[in-house]
C-alpha cells in the first residue's frame, strides 16, 4: 500500500506515489540549482516539467493509473542526471580560465557541518572556518569546558543556536571556502547527491547569486586586469577596517562570553548554596530586610546584567561571522522585555529595601544607679566569649549562636554619652533604636534589641554588643547609653570603654579620658591624674608638622617654622627671621 499525492505538472493532473513524488521533487530541485536566473532558469524548468508531464502522459493508460517510482526512474533515465544538464560555459571553468576565479577570493563562511558532527557540527564547522582539523576544535571545546567548570557548554549551545547548519550544497561549499560555481556544485552533487535535497529553493537562490556574482567578477577582472592604483589603496584601507572590525568582534565575544560565564557561575553557586548552605548566606539573608527571596533577586540580576552581555556576544559574533543566523525578532523582543522587567523589578526591590530603613524609632529605658557621693563609679565593658571584639565598633554585624545555641545577630554599635546632672543620684538611660518601613515595625525592632548592664559594687559593666533575633533582620540597630552623673562625682572609665565613648561635643567624657579618673564639675570635667603628656598633639602631615621639635606649616610658596632656633617665616615676597642673631625682615620690593 502506498500513499499517493496529486500533482499538477505543467497544467496536467497526475496521481503519483509519495516516494515517487519525493524522488521527482528532489530531481527537479537539483536541476533547478544547476542553473542561474540569468540563464533563464524558470523557463528551462517549466520546459523540463512540460516534457516530464508529456512523458508521464505517454505512460498513463487511464485516469486512475498512479505514477510510481518505476515511471519516475524511466523519465529520469530519459531526461538525464542533473549533471547532464550542465552544458553551459561554466563547466569548463576549472580548466584554462580558472585563474580569473582565484582573484575573487573565496569567502569562507561559518556553518555547522552536520555531515561530520559528533553533537551538532559546531566543531567541524569551526574547523572548516579556521582551517584546522575538527579534532583540535573538539579537544579545545573539551578543555575549555573542563577548565571553565562546565559553563563553556553554554557558549557551545549559543554557537549551536546561532550558527546555521550547512544544509544546501552551496552552503557546504561556502563552508569550506571554495568558490561556489557549477563545477564545484557538480562535484558535490556527484559526491553525495542523495544527501542534499532539502531547502533547495534557498540553495538555488544562493548558488545563482554566487554564480552570477562570480561570473560578473570574472569578466570584469579580465576587462581591467591591471587594477587602479586607488582601488588598491581603498582595498588596503578596507582591509584594515575589516581587521579592526574583526578585532572588535573578537573583543565583544570574549567580554560577552566571559561575563556570561561569570554570571552563570555566580547564579548557580548563589542558588545552590541555598541548599548546601554556606555561612555567608546568613549575611545576605539578614541584610535583606525587605524579605525579597534571594533567588528572585539573583534571577533579576542575572537577566538584568546577563542580557546586555548576551547582546554584546551576539553582536561580536555577528561582526565576525556574516552569515550568522538571526535569533529572530520574537527572541530579541522577549529578551528586551525580560531585561526591562528585571531592571524595573530590581529598582522596585531597591526602593522596598530602602523603605525598610525609612523610619528610625527609639525605645528608651531609664534606671537609677545607686552610688554614694564619695564613691567612685567605675565603668567598663563586658568581655564576651561569644562575641569577641574582633569586629571593631562599626556598622557591621555578626551572626553567631548565643548561649542557647540559637542564631543571633550581634552588633557593637554601642555609644556611651556622659552628661552631668544636678541630681544627687546617677541615672543610666538605654536608648535602643532601629529602622523599619513604618513606625510600628521600627519600634518593635528597637524593642527587640537585647542590651544589658550589671551594676554592682559601684561598678557598672556594660555589654559591649547588642543582640537581636535573626528575624528582626539587620535594620541598623543601635544602642545609646547615656549616663547622667551628679556634679562632683568621680568616675573612672576603663580602657575597654575607649572605643565606645561618643565623639560628639555634648559628651563630657571623650575617649581621651579613658583609663583616667574624671571629676564632673559645673563646667565640664577635670582630670586629676591626666598628665600634660597625655595632651601632646602630634600631627604629621605633609603640610603641617607639630611635634616636640616645634611647629612647621608649609604651603607651596609660604613657610612658617617655629623651633628651638627661633621663628622663621617666608613667603614669596617677604622673609621674617627671628633667631639668636636678632630680627631680620627682608622684602623683595
Partner 1 sequence: MKIENTKAQMRKGVLEYCILSVLKDEDAYVAEILDTLKDAKLLVVEGTIYPLLTRLKNAGLLNYRWEESLSGPPRKYYGLTETGKLFLKELNTTWSELQNAVNLVTSQKTPK
- The residue ranges that bind partner 1 (CB under 8 A) are 9-12, 31, 35, 39-40, 43-44, 47-48, 50-51, 53-54, 57-58, 77-82, 84-85, 87-88, 91-92, 95
Q: How far apart are CA 117 and CA 272, in angstroms?
A: 34
Name the minimum Å distance from CB 32 to partner 1: 12
Beta strands in 437-531 (DSSP E): 453-456, 459-462, 466-469, 478-486, 490-493, 517-520, 525-527
**What percent helix, strand, coil does the chain show, rounded to 5?**
45, 20, 30
Name the minimum Å distance from CB 87 to partner 1: 5
Residue 476 Rama label (left phi>0; alpha psi -120 to 50; beta) = left
Name the minimum Å distance from CB 51 to partner 1: 6
**Which CB, 28 or 480, lies closer to partner 1?**
28
Q: How far apart are CA 336 and CA 563, in angstroms?
A: 70
Name the minimum Å distance from CB 95 to partner 1: 7
Name the minimum Å distance from CB 189 to partner 1: 14
**Which CB, 165 or 211, lies closer to partner 1?**
211
**Which CB, 28 or 560, lies closer to partner 1?**
28
Q: What is the DSSP string of 67-107?
A: E-HHHHHHHHHHH--GGGG--SGGGGTTSTTHHHHHHSPPP
Name the minimum Å distance from CB 73 to partner 1: 13
Number of Cβ atoms within 10 Å of the Cβ of 177:
14
What is the grid cell recorded at 240?
Answer: 584594515
Please, where are the H alpha helices in 291-328?
Answer: 294-320
Name the minimum Å distance from CB 338 to partner 1: 53
Q: How far apart are CA 384 and CA 467, in angstroms?
A: 12
Name the minimum Å distance from CB 30 to partner 1: 11
Q: Burial, 99: exposed, middle or buried (Cβ in 10 Å; 0-12, 13-18, 19+)? A: exposed
**Which CA distances in Å does 146 have to 118, 141, 265?**
18, 8, 13
Interstrand relation of 490-493 and 376-381 (parallel, antiparallel or unpaired): parallel
Residue 444 Rama label (left phi>0; alpha psi -120 to 50; beta) = alpha
**Which CB, 88 or 459, lies closer to partner 1?**
88
Name the minimum Å distance from CB 94 to partner 1: 9
Name the minimum Å distance from CB 145 to partner 1: 47
Which residue in this structure is represented by grid cell 539573583?
298
**Which CB, 36 or 477, lies closer to partner 1?**
36
Rg from Cα positions in the chain: 44
Interstrand relation of 490-493 and 359-369 (parallel, antiparallel or unpaired): unpaired
Amino acid at each position: 500500500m502506498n500513499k499517493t499525492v496529486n500533482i499538477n505538472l505543467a497544467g496536467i493532473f497526475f496521481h503519483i506515489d509519495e516516494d515517487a513524488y519525493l524522488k521527482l521533487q528532489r530531481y527537479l530541485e537539483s536541476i533547478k540549482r544547476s542553473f542561474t536566473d540569468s540563464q533563464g532558469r524558470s523557463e528551462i524548468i517549466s520546459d523540463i516539467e512540460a516534457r516530464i508531464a508529456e512523458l508521464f502522459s505517454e505512460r498513463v493508460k487511464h485516469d486512475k493509473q498512479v505514477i510510481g517510482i518505476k515511471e519516475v526512474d524511466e523519465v529520469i533515465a530519459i531526461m538525464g542526471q542533473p549533471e547532464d544538464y550542465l552544458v553551459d560555459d561554466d563547466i569548463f571553468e576549472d580548466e584554462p580560465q580558472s585563474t580569473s576565479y582565484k582573484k575573487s577570493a573565496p569567502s569562507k563562511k561559518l556553518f555547522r557541518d552536520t555531515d561530520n558532527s559528533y553533537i551538532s557540527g559546531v566543531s567541524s564547522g569551526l574547523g572548516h572556518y579556521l582551517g584546522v582539523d575538527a579534532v583540535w576544535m573538539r579537544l579545545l571545546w573539551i578543555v575549555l569546558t573542563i577548565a571553565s567548570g562546565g559553563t563553556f557548554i553554554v557558549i557551545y549551545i549559543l554557537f549551536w543556536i546561532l550558527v546555521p547548519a550547512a544544509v544546501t550544497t552551496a552552503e557546504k561549499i561556502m563552508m569550506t571556502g571554495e568558490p561556489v560555481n557549477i563545477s564545484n556544485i557538480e562535484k558535490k552533487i556527484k559526491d553525495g547527491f542523495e544527501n542534499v535535497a532539502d531547502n533547495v529553493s534557498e540553495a538555488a537562490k544562493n548558488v545563482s547569486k554566487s554564480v552570477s556574482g562570480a561570473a560578473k567578477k570574472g569578466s570584469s577582472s579580465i576587462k581591467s586586469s591591471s587594477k587602479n592604483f586607488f582601488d588598491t589603496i581603498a582595498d588596503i584601507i578596507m582591509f584594515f577596517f575589516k581587521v579592526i572590525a574583526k578585532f572588535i568582534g573578537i573583543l565583544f565575544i570574549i567580554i560577552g562570553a566571559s561575563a556570561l560565564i561569570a554570571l552563570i557561575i555566580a547564579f548557580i553557586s548563589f542558588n545552590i548554596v541555598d541548599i548546601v548552605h554556606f555561612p555567608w548566606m546568613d549575611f545576605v539573608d539578614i541584610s535583606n530586610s525587605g524579605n525579597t527571596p534571594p533567588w528572585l533577586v539573583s534571577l533579576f540580576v542575572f537577566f538584568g546584567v546577563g542580557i546586555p552581555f548576551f547582546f554584546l556576544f551576539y553582536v561580536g559574533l555577528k561582526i565576525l561571522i556574516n552569515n550568522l543566523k538571526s535569533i529572530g525578532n520574537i527572541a530579541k523582543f522577549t529578551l528586551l522585555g525580560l531585561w526591562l522587567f528585571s531592571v524595573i523589578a530590581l529598582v522596585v526591590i531597591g526602593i522596598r529595601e530602602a523603605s525598610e530603613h525609612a523610619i528610625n524609632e527609639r525605645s528608651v529605658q531609664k534606671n537609677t544607679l545607686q552610688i554614694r557621693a564619695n564613691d567612685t563609679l567605675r565603668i567598663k565593658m563586658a568581655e564576651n566569649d561569644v562575641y569577641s571584639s574582633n569586629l571593631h565598633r562599626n556598622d557591621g554585624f555578626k551572626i553567631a549562636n548565643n548561649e542557647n545555641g540559637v542564631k543571633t545577630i550581634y552588633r557593637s554599635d554601642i555609644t556611651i554619652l556622659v552628661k552631668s546632672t544636678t541630681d544627687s543620684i546617677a541615672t543610666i538611660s538605654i536608648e535602643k533604636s532601629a529602622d523599619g518601613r513604618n513606625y510600628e515595625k521600627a519600634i518593635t525592632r528597637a524593642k527587640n534589641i537585647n542590651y544589658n548592664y550589671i551594676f554592682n559594687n559601684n561598678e557598672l559593666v556594660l555589654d559591649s554588643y547588642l543582640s537581636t533575633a535573626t528575624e528582626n533582620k539587620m535594620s541598623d540597630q543601635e544602642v545609646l547609653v547615656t549616663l547622667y552623673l551628679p556634679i562632683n562625682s568621680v568616675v573612672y572609665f576603663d580602657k575597654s570603654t575607649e572605643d565606645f565613648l561618643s565623639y560628639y561635643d555634648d559628651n563630657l567624657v571623650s575617649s581621651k579620658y579613658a583609663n583616667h579618673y574624671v571629676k564632673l564639675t559645673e563646667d565640664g570635667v577635670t582630670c586629676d591624674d591626666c598628665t600634660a603628656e597625655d595632651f601632646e598633639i602630634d600631627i604629621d602631615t605633609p603640610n603641617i608638622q607639630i611635634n616636640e621639635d616645634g611647629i612647621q606649616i608649609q604651603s607651596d610658596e609660604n613657610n612658617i617654622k617655629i623651633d628651638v632656633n627661633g621663628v622663621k617665616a617666608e613667603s614669596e615676597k617677604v622673609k621674617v627671621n627671628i633667631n639668636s642673631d636678632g630680627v631680620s625682615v627682608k622684602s623683595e620690593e
